């Protein structure tokens, strides 16, 4: 790690140190209407081709979001190739099918398969993060990811097992280690990214989120009891439960979305907001209230429009995320140097897409 951070500083030493600090604001310029048309046409083509075209659709969607993300006058670019992504999707689809059938036939075999998959996660995480980094560029300089399989095994197997052994008390450290792994192995060109927040920040976040969660459940139960006259015991009575379901959703969904907004805001600010690259650093200033409102209104509108609102929801989220993200630049952004290029298979990212492996970043 030490040698690499020295390497990252190398480009700066070529020009005289520049202490002038400017704040470059990220900007997302996509529009919901434009994205809706792209989304619906590509969705139709994907369905008509029985999913084959979905790889091309994904590339177009990614290119739309990258190409509308501005920083200091230039946009990001996505380089994923549809054929590569299709190959990954076919493998992921095959694995998904095997897992689904096996676990339906025998729960024991399903658990065994999931266990095998668990030991496969570090490799998958490295592949997915490498793919994502390699397929992203800014100013024609690609991002790269160090293939640290040893570090991945430590985090995704060792630390993940410690979470189980400590009954979850270790989880904040695990979350911290995951972000650290994903960020500190990433480079923009030759410049290494560095997360400078420590594990304490994550313990503080999860402690407050847990308290908030308990408070939300208590408030929810009280409101639900006032409204319907029932307590928690409706969960055990299928008949009462199904007739009370709408009220349960109306009471608990906003409360849980609020807890989710708080947690995600904290995590985003603690990770992206504490990253340095070269002599620059990122600034993230998300707010719980705004994020909660986005979650709530997006969910309500997606349900009310039977899903048609999905593209607008994606665009609104991206707008807000980048509105609250900035780069504090010490000196020029013109000095980044490209790293060596290497190919990366898309399989990792596509499989993790389907199995929803939470990689954090």
Partner 1 sequence: MTGLRGQYFDGRSSLRHPVELQIGMDGRLRVTGLAEVREYRLSETEVSERIGQTPRTLRFPDGSACQVLDNDAIDAALEALDTTSVQHDVHRLESQWSYAVVALLALVAIVWAGIQYGIPAAARHVAAIFPPRADALIGTQALELLDHGYLSPSKLPPERQQQLREKFAAITRDLDDAHQYRLEFRQGGELGANAFALPSGIVVMTDELVGLAQADEELEVVLAHEIGHVVHRHSLRMLLQNSATSLLMIGLTGDVSSASVLVASVPTALVQAKHSRQFEAEADDYAYAWMDRNGISHRYFGEMLSRLEKKYGGAEAGALSWLSSHPRTAERIRN
Residues that bind partner 1 (CB under 8 A): 29-30, 34-38, 40-48, 51, 54, 56, 60, 63-64, 66-68, 73-75, 77, 93, 96-97, 100-101, 104-107, 138-141, 189, 242, 257, 295, 298-299, 302-303, 307-308, 310, 333-338, 353-354, 356
Q: How far is the CB of 333 from partner 1 (least distance, A)?
A: 6
Q: What is the CA radius of gyration of the chain?
A: 22
Q: At residue 137, what are phi and psi to the nearest 5 degrees?
A: -145, 160
CB nearer partner 1, residue 109 or residue 345: 109
Please identify, using beta-carbon distances, which residue of 2 and 334 lies nearer to partner 1.
Answer: 334
For residue 194, give the nearest of 147, 146, 161 by alpha carbon. Answer: 146
**Residue 237, H or E segment:** none
Enclosing H/E stretch for 185: none
Nearest CA to 178 out of 150, 204, 152 is that of 152
Find out whether 32 and 311 touch, Cβ atoms under 8 Å. yes
Rounded CA separation 276/192 (Å): 9
Distance CA 216, CA 219 (A): 5
Q: Would you say 203 or 252 has its CB closer to partner 1? A: 252
The smaller minimum CB distance to partner 1, of residues 197 and 261, is found at 261
Q: Which is nearer to partner 1, 41 or 214 (CB)?
A: 41
CA angle centred on 147, ends 144 and 152, rounded to 5°: 125
Take residue 273 and report the two structure tokens written for it. 């907001």
Token pair of 100 as six digits: 């689904």
Strands 141-145 and 280-284, by their bridges, are: unpaired
Smaller CB distance to partner 1: residue 185 or 298? 298
| Contact residues for 198 (Cβ-Cβ < 8 A; gap 6+) | 176
CB of 158 to partner 1, least distance (A): 25
CB of 218 to partner 1, least distance (A): 22
* Nearest residue to 191 (alpha-carbon basis) of 79, 70, 276: 276
At closest approach, how far in Å is the CB of 169 from partner 1?
25
Q: What is the DSSP string of 114-171?
A: HHHHHHHHHHHHHHHHHHHHHTEEETTEEEEE---HHHHHIIIIIIHHHHHHTTTTTH
DSSP designation for 28: E
CB 239 to partner 1: min, Å: 9
Q: Give buried/exposed letters for 176-210 (b at 16+ CB in 10 A, else e).
A: bbbbbbbbbbbbbbbbbbbbebeeebbbebbeebe
Nearest approach in angstroms of CB 329 to partner 1 is 12
- Rounded CA separation 87/84 (Å): 5
Shortest Å distance, C-beta 226 to partner 1: 25
Residue 302 C-beta: closest distance to partner 1, Å: 5
**Least distance from C-beta 165 to partner 1, angstroms?**
27
For partner 1, give the closer residue by CB, 21 or 81.
81
- Comparison of 29 and 147: residue with beta carbon closer to partner 1: 29
Nearer to partner 1, 21 or 305 (CB): 305
């Amino acid at each position: 790690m030490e040698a690499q951070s020295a390497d990252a500083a190398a480009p700066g030493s070529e020009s005289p140190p520049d202490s002038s600090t400017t704040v470059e604001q990220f900007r997302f310029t996509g529009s919901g209407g434009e994205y809706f048309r792209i989304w619906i046409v590509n969705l139709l083509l994907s369905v008509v081709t029985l999913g084959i075209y979905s790889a091309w659709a994904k590339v177009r969607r990614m290119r739309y979001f990258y190409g509308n993300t501005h920083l200091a006058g230039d946009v990001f670019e996505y380089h994923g190739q549809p054929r590569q992504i299709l190959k990954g999707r076919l493998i992921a689809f095959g694995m998904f099918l095997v897992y689904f059938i096996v676990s339906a036939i025998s729960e024991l075999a399903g658990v065994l398969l999931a266990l095998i998959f668990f030991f496969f996660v570090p490799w998958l995480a490295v592949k997915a993060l490498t793919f994502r980094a390699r397929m992203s560029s800014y100013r024609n300089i690609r991002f790269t990811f160090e293939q640290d399989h040893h570090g991945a095994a430590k985090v995704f197997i060792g630390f993940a097992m410690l979470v189980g052994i400590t009954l979850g008390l270790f989880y904040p450290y695990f979350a911290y280690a995951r972000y650290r792994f994903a960020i500190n192995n990433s480079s923009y060109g030759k410049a290494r990214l560095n997360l400078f927040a420590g594990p304490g920040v994550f313990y503080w976040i999860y402690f407050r989120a847990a308290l908030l969660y308990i408070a939300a459940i208590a408030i929810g139960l009280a409101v639900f009891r006032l409204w319907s006259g029932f307590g928690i015991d409706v969960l055990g009575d299928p008949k009462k439960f199904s007739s009370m379901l709408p009220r349960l959703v109306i009471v608990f969904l906003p409360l849980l979305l609020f807890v989710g907004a708080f947690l995600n805001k904290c995590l985003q600010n603690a990770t992206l907001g504490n990253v340095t690259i070269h002599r620059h650093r990122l600034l993230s200033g998300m707010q719980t209230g705004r994020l909660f409102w986005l979650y709530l209104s997006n969910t309500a509108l997606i349900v009310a429009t039977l899903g048609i609102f999905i593209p607008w929801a994606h665009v609104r989220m991206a707008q807000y995320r980048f509105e609250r993200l900035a780069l504090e630049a010490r000196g020029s952004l013109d000095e980044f140097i490209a790293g060596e290029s290497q190919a990366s298979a898309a399989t990792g990212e596509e499989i993790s897409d389907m199995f929803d492996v939470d990689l954090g970043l």
